[in-house]
Structure 1
Amino acid sequence: MKKLALLFFILSTPFFLASCGKDNGQSTEATHSSSSVKVQVSSTTKSSSSSEDTQATSNSMASSSSSQAKEEDKVDTKNLSADQVKEWVASIWVKRKNIDPFKNPDFDILLETKEDGLLYATVESTTQQIDTLDSFRISSDGFLEESGYFQSMPDKGWIVVSKEYLDTSMVNKEKQATSATEGNTPSSHEAAEMLRDIMEKNQGLDADVLASIPDDVLLEASAGNATNSQIAQTAENLIRLYPDLKP
């Protein structure tokens, strides 16, 4: 009986060892598989984090590029061409009076750099010999300023009307035209009356004699009213025709 049991043990041992080896192999394989899954999950997490960082960098670069583009699009108002200055001045009139003195042949915009180093622009009439219609300048800050005289505020000197090129947000539209004529320019009689007033107050000419001069003759003798030299020349022309003008 003992011999029989020993024989059974000897015969069954290889099968037992083979079964244990198989179990150990499956366990090892499962362990390796689990490790692989962990590595794959870790890799996926790292890839997702990298993708988010890339997207954030891309968004930051896009925002920076957009800001830079806006900065480049901004016009340097201290370095404008003659036409750009005239268009800027004209935009104020277009907003306020619905008149474009840059494109309308009845007007002209004259530019002059004065002793203070600033660029001045005056709006003149091309059809009538009348005083300057408006006056602007570009300040040292690059702002467009308008003479307070033409806004009925002579005590304020120069008033900023635009801080950025072609921006008219600071300008109010006039409620009604300031002139009875279609083009919003003074009539011949209004222009003559303005000239009589200047000749009387600036040159000391006789008011009664000025009133007796026909409007067309007065305007024809005018050399302009934009500068003191023009006013003096106008007075000289009139005195030549009407000596009694001089007291």
Structure 2
Amino acid sequence: MKAIKQSLQTAYSKTRQKTYGPYTQIYLVRHCKPDYELKEAVGDANMPLSKIGRRQRILLTNKKLIKLDIDKIYASEFVRAQQTAYVYLKRAKKDLTIDKRFNEVDWKEWYKIKYFNMSEKTRIKKIKEYQKIDTDLHRLHTKFRRIIADIYKKNKGKNILIFCHGNVIRSIITGILNTDVIGFLSLEVYQSSVTKLVIDKKGFIKINYINNIGHLPKKPKEDLFQAAINQ
């Protein structure tokens, strides 16, 4: 019987490490769609949600967040993140902790970088200041690794909801995956999306899912490059 069980094991199950509860679940929510027409007048940090964004946060709350058993909620200082949280906080009767560490990252080096036939040596040759950009990303990874470690330390065994921003989520996910700048630039994080991390008792971490937008009635635009430009 033991031999039969071993033969039925998949390659994944054979190499999977044992994990230990209690588990800490962290939900990273990118804010809903802001009103970009007001950005110049009020500034990036004070940009409110658009009409579409206000509809999105209702769907996000009713179809996704209200079903989660959340213990602690954080949001950045930015208006669009706090407005995204508003409907959920009201329905769930929860308090919000404002944490400036989750403010949007002002990443300025945006490039379309080819994945194929681009070894690290080729990237260094072809992409101006590649090494500097990659060093900057490494600093971001270190910063957010420490932030998530702190959130985990203070909330072990709890379910955490963090209302934040695209580049924050990119930094966290690519830091866990240990990617270079190509991974960071290639990852699209949708507005109103939910990304879930699970951390066990000993600090082992899993990315459960990325970019969950099942609560929205329409899929994102098929042309992802154009969607990224429009944001």
Q: Is TM > 0.5 for Structure 1 vs Structure 2?
A: no
TM-score in terms of structure 1 length: 0.21
The structure carrying a bigger helix percent of its residues is 1
Give the structure-2-normalised TM-score: 0.22
Name which structure has the greater RCO, CA cutoff 8 Å, separation 6+: 2
Structure showing greater radius of gyration is 1
